[in-house]
Structure 1
Amino acid sequence: MSAAAPGGRLTVVGLGPGSAAQVTPQALEAVAAADALYGYAPYLARLPEREGQSRHASDNREELRRAAAALEAAAAGAQVAMVSGGDPGVFAMAAAVCEAIEAGPPAWRALEVRVVPGVTAMLAVAARAGAPLGHDFCALSLSDNLKPWELVETRLRLAAEAGFVIALYNPVSRARPWQLGRAFDLLREKLPGTVPVVFGRAAGRADERIAVVPLAEARSDDADMATCIIIGSADSRVVAREGLPPLVYAPRAAGAAR
């Protein structure tokens, strides 16, 4: 294919962490305007079906194949929406689309490509816990599908040593049951045991579960793939409230500024 058909467009859409209330109006508009929807099957299932709009579901770990199929449809002239959970640019489909375009035919580079942001899991969890991301933070995926585990450990150590609050994505799976426990052990070597750890499962959904425990008591059994974990720094604070959940926050000032 040497040139894209006129009028084709690919929009990569973030659907948020799962609650319909956390899908942005811009995301809903992009989905409604599409001729074809592509995405991981559970994400497509969140959207109502519309007559005349085709759906192309695929399994997890098929990101590049999914991106290529959507780009082919857009290059043929279709209005395509690629849906993604959370924000499409955070461990999600926007990077896969860009990677496919870089390696693909020239026609894909000529396409109009838009990315519509969404609420990513760490923001939804942070909002339920207080303000644990109120100062400097980083986000890491514990999955070693696309990077060696040794690199994960290196980044965890350096983030803890630098004083970052750490948001952990993809903490455990059936194929990786041991990695979160290893991550906690490593972080306990660098951080006080009193540092708060927020386990946020399905934040904003009906089956939401939010728990705050000290790092010394954090266990991998408290998480699954629907969980995003926020690990505080030595500066993080926990405000106890009688009869109410605690508030976890990062003070606005750090180091000499305090």
Structure 2
Amino acid sequence: MNPTEPLRPAIPGGRIMLVGLGPGAHEHLTARARAAIAEADTVIGYVTYIRLVAELLEGKEVIRKSMTEELDRAIEALARARQGRKVALISSGDAGVYGMAGPTFEVLFQAGWTPDSGIEVEIVPGASALNTCAALVGAPLTHDFCAISLSDLLTPWPTIARRLDAVAYADFVVALYNPRSGRRTGQIVEAQRLFLRHRDPATPVAIVKSAYRPKQRIEFTTLERMTEADIGMLTTVLIGNSQTFVRDGLMVTPRGYASKYALDAGERATVDGEQSGRSLSTGLEGWLATIRASGRSATELADTYRLPEAYIRVALAGAEAPV
């Protein structure tokens, strides 16, 4: 089937359910994910994901695809849905996070599909590797974080490198997806090189392989030594920010309460100069007042705060930044 050919009238009842399996263990499947698989006539997925839910597939048409055949999976799902079948197109984690939701909509739109064209599409959310790996190692995502895939199969390396450099500079906690494969061994080394430009070599790193699966493995290391760890395609790498710490086998990123509150004998007290329920004294309004009263140049302030000089100039002028 060519997905670009005009969408013929579908047989009533056709449906595509994009099902996120979470980490794969049955106790972590949502009730809706189980129900969607039960409702399906056809289940389509990468062979490893099919194995994760094999006990739920009795009596169903099962279509197994290889690692790089995402578009083929989506095309098969559309073909079955056109026949009036209910299709569960499964992804590990969440179907919308490096999963099958994106390529499926690409195929559908190329074929002329619209939400009222007779084929219903449902996305069934599941916990992504970001969440499941974090849960195993503590609370590393309590403050701002992002995810970056190191796979350059579909994304140019300069694009990936710019993203890595930007988030390392900006002090995000970062989850690296697809960090290394049998053929792609240099990307994790380059990621480390970029992070070391901006981060302390002792920055905590958690390496989680096969989260909540029989071969689960967790290793704590540092940014300086993370490439020495056992890292593969079933691994997620969690890199802490400048405040992240590891204690008693738990990786924790503080939310920032210490900037506003002090705990004394179990009682919470507000730090001098701060108010409960109000922005920090170094929040936007307080920061603007500080830089405007400093008498320092935009160049000096840009260097101090690691912000673009053009942005500082607008802030000093008291004008809104141009859109």
TM-score interval (norm. to shorter): over 0.9
User: 2:192 aligns to what SS in structure 1?
Assistant: helix
User: 1:2·1:105 contact (CA, 8 Å) conserved in 2?
Assistant: no
> What amino acid is aligned across from residue 17 of structure 1 in structure 2?
P
> Which residue in the other structure is 2:32 paired with?
26
> Which residue in the other structure is 2:274 paired with?
none
Structure 1 range deviating more: 129-138 or 102-111: 102-111
1:220 is displaced (CA, Å) by: 5.1
Alignment of 1:1-258 (within 5 A): 1-47=7-53, 48=55, 50-106=57-113, 110=117, 111-219=119-227, 221-239=229-247, 241=248, 246-253=249-256, 256=282
CA deviation map 1:80-122 (0-9, x unaligned):
1101111111101011111111211447872210000111111
CA deviation map 1:124-179 (0-9, x unaligned):
11001111011100000000011101111100000011111100000001111111
Over 3 Å counting, the alpha-carbon distance change for 1:69 and 1:107 in structure 2 is: farther
Larger Rg belongs to: 2
TM-score (norm 1): 0.92
> What amino acid is aligned across from residue 24 of structure 1 in structure 2?
T
Question: CA RMSD, aligned part only?
Answer: 1.7
User: 2:168·2:194 contact (CA, 8 Å) conserved in 1?
Assistant: no
1:50 is displaced (CA, Å) by: 4.3
Percent identity over paired residues:
38
> What amino acid is aligned across from residue 150 of structure 1 in structure 2?
P
User: 1:14·1:27 contact (CA, 8 Å) conserved in 2?
Assistant: yes
> What amino acid is aligned across from residue 7 of structure 1 in structure 2?
G
Cα distance in 2 for partners of 1:50, 1:136 equals 39
Query: Which aligned runs of 4 or more in structure 1 are off by greater than 3 angstroms?
Result: 49-52, 105-109, 254-257
Cα distance in 1 for partners of 2:143, 2:197 equals 22
User: 1:102·1:109 contact (CA, 8 Å) conserved in 2?
Assistant: no
User: 2:177·2:235 contact (CA, 8 Å) conserved in 1?
Assistant: yes
> What amino acid is aligned across from residue 190 of structure 1 in structure 2?
H
User: 1:2 aligns to what SS in structure 2?
Assistant: coil
User: 2:68 aligns to what SS in structure 1?
Assistant: coil
Cα distance in 2 for partners of 1:11, 1:75 equals 14
1:2 is displaced (CA, Å) by: 2.3
User: 1:216 aligns to what SS in structure 2?
Assistant: helix
User: 2:25·2:52 contact (CA, 8 Å) conserved in 1?
Assistant: no
User: 1:45 aligns to what SS in structure 2?
Assistant: helix
Paired residues, number: 252
Over 3 Å counting, the alpha-carbon distance change for 1:180 and 1:220 in structure 2 is: farther
User: 2:17·2:121 contact (CA, 8 Å) conserved in 1?
Assistant: yes
> What amino acid is aligned across from residue 60 of structure 2 in structure 1?
Q
Q: Which runs of 5+ in 2 are unaligned?
A: 1-6, 260-279, 284-323
CA deviation map 1:154-207 (0-9, x unaligned):
000000111111000000011111110111111111101121101000111221
Specify which structure has the higher proportion of strand: 1
Cα distance in 2 for partners of 1:51, 1:132 equals 39
